Amino acid sequence: MKFLSYTAALLAAALVTACAPSTAPTTGGGDERTGTLQVWLYDEPNRAPKEKVVGEAIAEFTAKHPDVKIQVTYIPTTPARHEKFKGAFNDPASSPDVAEYGNTDLAEYAAAGGFSELDLSGLDLSPDLVKSATVDGKAYGLPWFIGIRALFYRTDVFTELGLKPPASLEELATTARTIRQKKPDLYGIAVGGEYTFGALPFVWAHGGDITSLDSEGARKGVTAYTGLLTDEVCPPQACASLTGGKTVELFASGKAAMGILGNFSRSAVDAGAAAGKYAVVPLPGVSPGSVAPAFSGGNNLGVLKNAKHSSLAKEFVRLLGGKPYQIKMFEAMGNLPTLTSARDELAAKEPFLKPFLETVTSGTRFVPIDPAWVKIDNQKVIPTLLQKVATGQATVEVATTEAAAAVKGAFGGS
């Protein structure tokens, strides 16, 4: 088993996943220079800003290629995406030319032979970012954005109650309980029983890991996180089933005073009741003043092996994944650029980036670099653990022991 721990200005890396779909057929694909380019992009809680930027890229591309049209399909990020991609890999007729995919899915998709190799030369990507799109020395995607989570909090609520942003996870819990007590119409913090990447920083900060969920550190982290899934903070009857996307909606709608949200959640928050009334700080760690390790994820843009317009697809990926549109995607969605030049340009003028870059510098973490991860993810091993504890179905010791066994099983019992 291999696992990653990122430090300093490293970012994410990647590959991982699940039972690989069956190998893609050797037939299919082509290099047509006219017709309709099919593109799959991930759906968003607030898709309009993303659609606008993508529409600008399409207009630029089709102006250069008047005989080409581009049709975008927005697909869900739920586990069902794996079946959708599996279908595209095995049926050329259903395959898009270009697709956005999470870097944690790369190992699965590469094993299936679903994507074409891309040339990333000439792009100012750090070596670690190139790794996030590479399997066996071959790049199968252009890293499009970095995903980092931090603590969003309502400045108006904190000011009214005389509170300061929490400097430790213990302070976060105390602050959340205080808010809920004084403002019972608000959740102290929006957390979810199905929010794996919201819970993992608590586990990592206490010294645990995905592969050691029954360790003392992991149990402390699970206890700290599920301690927020209570009536005093975020009632389990309402919050135990929440996903990360639902916690974004809660905070954006003004129903929660805090939330562990990504830089990519900015447009959704700015479109809701919390707009103009929030600030962001790194999610604190165990020691006062420390930063909890965040999951360092991100999405790539790739060209399918079954693409009918291979050259055009690669050109469109270069355009949409280039500096101008990475900057536009940040301005629209809060997506951290992968290109160093784009990130440096934005950091110099955009305070919003500071807590996320500080989190990256403090050290981020990743999921196991092994196809077993998607088994673990699809089987909801961590959400099941969190929900059992939060709803009183099992103690932390019992639930973590069960989860650790499931993780071991995903790795073949090794």
- Residues 34-52 have a mean pLDDT of 94
Report the chain's mean pLDDT, rounded to a whole number. Answer: 91
Q: Please give the backbone phi and psi of residue 278, each rounded to the nearest 5 degrees, phi first.
A: -145, 160
In 3D space, the residue among 131, 125, 149 whose CA is nearest the CA of residue 362 turns out to be 149
**Candidate from 107-111, 166-170, 320-324, 403-407 with smallest mean pLDDT:** 107-111
Domain 15-146+297-350: CATH class, spelled out: alpha beta
The pLDDT-based confidence of 406 (bands split at 50, 70, 90) is very high
- pLDDT at site 20: 39
Q: Please give the backbone phi and psi of residue 346, each rounded to the nearest 5 degrees, phi first.
A: -75, -40
Token couple for 300? 């790539």
**Is residue 314 over pLDDT 90?**
yes
**Is residue 306 over pLDDT 80?**
yes
- Residues 340-361 have a mean pLDDT of 90
The more confidently predicted of residues 300 and 111 is: 300
Residue ranges of alpha helices (H) inside 65-126 are 81-90, 106-111
Q: Please give the backbone phi and psi of residue 2, each rounded to the nearest 5 degrees, phi first.
A: -120, 145
Superfamily per CATH, domain 149-295+379-410: Periplasmic binding protein-like II (3.40.190.10)
Token couple for 368? 């196991």
- pLDDT at site 6: 32
- pLDDT at site 147: 87
3-class secondary-structure state, position 364: strand
Task: Give me the half-sphere count of Cα atoms (radius 13 Å) on the Cβ side of residue 84.
Answer: 17
50: β partners: none
Residue-range domain boundaries for the chain: 15-146+297-350, 149-295+379-410
- pLDDT at site 4: 35
Q: Do domains 15-146+297-350 and 149-295+379-410 have the same CATH topology?
A: yes
